[in-house]
Amino acid sequence: MKSRLYRWADRWAVRMADRMGVTIARAKPLDLRGCDIHPLEAWYRAGRYQPVLMDVPLSKLRGLGSAAFRCTADSSHPFISTLIECESGKVRAYTGSALEQFYERWQPANAAEYFGFDKDSVSQRMLSLQPVEAVLPWDRYQPSDRKARYQDVDRRNWNHCGPVDLPFGDKEFERLVTAYSSIKERYVRRNPFDGDITGLLMIHGGSWFIYVKIGQHRVGVFSALGCTQIPIRLFFFCR
């Protein structure tokens, strides 16, 4: 009876927050690790307001925002490529790495270009927004909110695209290498509260993939280490 009351109160709180545009995630997701199921089945099992923790093949993950790199070792994902280069001894610093090449080559001028839209098919508003202000249609915040969230990030320093300055590039490189060394030496113990890699389920026709939200660096590390699948916490919100 007590656990049933807790479940009812939990659902009521999340629904009220949802109506107010606030996201509240349960601390304990439905754990479906080890189950070979489609994410939609996971959604049916969990219901609208409960996140799901499930094993997802790295081939089904897409990383670094609109660049949407496949998160496998044979892809051109700059995080993964850079770590593989480091492990082989090909590079030892940001300069000359695949990460540096990515930031030099991928430099969208505005939000429209970041999303890959033709400038003649979008509003002037999209052309005036910075890449960091590019929000997805289902996001709960506005471009200005996103800019405020990344208030310490100017157009030259955002890890989803370039241009970036050398200190930022060095910092991203060091962050990747540190995460790689840490996980390689002692793997990683999942934090049951807020330490999961999170993602958003995207479905098109009969195919699906997971758009990585939190944990871009860890995804790169696991892929470079040769993992084939990793646990992802998925959130399902239907409108």
What is d(CA 112, CA 41) in angstroms, rounded to the nearest whole number? Answer: 34
- Which 3 state secondary structure label does DSSP give 85? helix
10 Å CB burial of residue 4 (0-12, 13-18, 19+) is: exposed
Q: What is the pLDDT along the chain (239 residues), one digit of tens a residue?
A: 444 444 455 555 545 544 444 445 455 789 999 999 999 899 888 876 788 999 999 999 999 999 999 999 999 999 999 999 999 999 999 999 999 999 999 999 999 999 999 888 888 999 999 998 998 887 877 887 777 776 555 545 889 999 999 999 999 999 999 999 999 987 666 665 557 999 999 988 889 999 999 999 999 999 999 999 999 999 765 44
What is d(CA 230, CA 212) in angstroms, rounded to the nearest whole number? Answer: 12
Residue 174 tokens read as 């060091």
What is d(CA 161, CA 16) in angstroms, rounded to the nearest whole number? Answer: 36
